[in-house]
């Protein structure tokens, strides 16, 4: 159970690395426009904001990786709750699918982290 919890935390970290790459480097290109369904003008206008958001996602990924490899329960819970909060906020303010692409994987990982804590060694 503990191994599965660690794997899920690290998967959430990788998801956030993907978000960071998309927002920091692929935003203005065909991939960014296809994913977000926006015009080139909109993507160009918002590129700096997206890059800033990408940096925050990269910082979350770093924290999640630290939490995953350290095995510390407090770090895992903290960073997963941060991701869940960001995902819920994003779903409420930007796009509902953020709930499923960001908050749901973190919630699943959090459930397994907490279950692993309860499991007997």
Tens-place pLDDT, residues 93-114: 999 999 999 999 999 999 999 9
- Residue 42: pLDDT band with limits 50, 70, 90: very high
Return the DSSP state at 96.
Answer: T
Prediction pTM value: 0.93
> What are 16-19's contacts with CB under 8 Å, separation 24+?
16/57, 16/58, 16/60, 16/61, 16/64, 16/83, 17/57, 17/58, 17/61, 19/54, 19/57, 19/102
CA dist., res. 6 & res. 109, Å (int)? 8
- 49-87, pLDDT tens digit by residue? 999 999 999 999 999 999 999 999 999 999 999 999 999
Q: Which is more confidently placed, 121 or 107?
A: 107
Q: Does the structure show a pLDDT above 80 at 121?
A: no
Range of the domain at 28: 2-118
| Structural domains of the chain, count | 1
């Amino acid at each position: 159970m503990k191994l599965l919890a660690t794997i899920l935390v690290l998967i959430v970290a990788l998801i956030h690395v993907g978000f960071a790459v998309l927002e920091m480097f692929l935003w203005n290109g065909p991939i960014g426009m296809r994913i977000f369904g926006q015009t080139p003008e909109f993507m160009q206008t918002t590129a700096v904001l997206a890059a800033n958001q990408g940096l925050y996602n990269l910082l979350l990924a770093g924290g999640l990786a630290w939490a995953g490899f350290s095995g510390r329960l407090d770090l895992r819970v903290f960073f997963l709750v941060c991701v869940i909060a960001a995902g819920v906020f994003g779903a409420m303010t930007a796009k509902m699918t953020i709930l499923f692409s960001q908050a749901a994987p973190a919630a699943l990982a959090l459930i397994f982290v907490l279950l692993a804590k309860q499991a007997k060694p």
